[in-house]
Amino acid sequence: MNSVQIEDKNFELFLENDQINKRTRLIGIQLNVDYEDRCPIIIGVLNGSFVFMADLLKEIEISCEIAFIRVSSYKDTESTGIIKEAFGLPDNLHNRDIILVEDIVDTGLTLKYILEKVRLQAPASVKVCSLLLKPDALLAPVPELEYIGFEIPNEFVVGYGLDYNGLGRNLKDIYSAVN
């Protein structure tokens, strides 16, 4: 499909699943190298990261633990800047290597909030892996953002775990909103 409609918005094809899979494979290879002989806790940020994280985990061959945190700051297509934590971090992060997996980093406010919570437990290291990054929307640098699938323009995207009002997460490709 080259375009989709979700509720009142039209979207056109932006990133095909094949491109996403190739980039995910490369990130997985890099994580295998960077965390060789270590056992990181890989924490997915729900709901958006679940598709990317599932595919990423298929590429990771090192020992690792899996956990999830659920936070939200979106209403319609805009970040509200107000973080609502639905369920939180595991409490065993002390002296562990942590990899946070995000679907998208735009303003970075949600990520800043999560990183502050993670640091309270004094982990050995913290890195962030995000499928998408909107550099033009970023309000402050995120030094922990080590693994990036794609840098994209500041446009609203849907599919491959990303949603519009809860819809569209199941699309295998990523689509960009048409104004």
Q: Which of 124, 126, 74 is nearest to 100 (CA)?
A: 126
List of residues 6+ apart from 8 with CB closer than 8 A = none
List of residues 6+ apart from 19 with CB closer than 8 A = none
Q: What is the dihedral of CA 102, 39, 19, 143, to 10 degrees?
A: 50
List of residues 6+ apart from 60 with CB closer than 8 A = 28, 31, 32, 42
Task: Pick the catalytic residue from 8, 106, 136, 163.
Answer: 106
The verdict on whether 106 is a catalytic residue reads: yes
161 touches 54 (CB < 8 A): no
Q: Which of 57, 14, 11 is nearest to 167 (CA)?
A: 11
Amino acid (one-letter) located at 49: S
Catalytic positions, please? 106
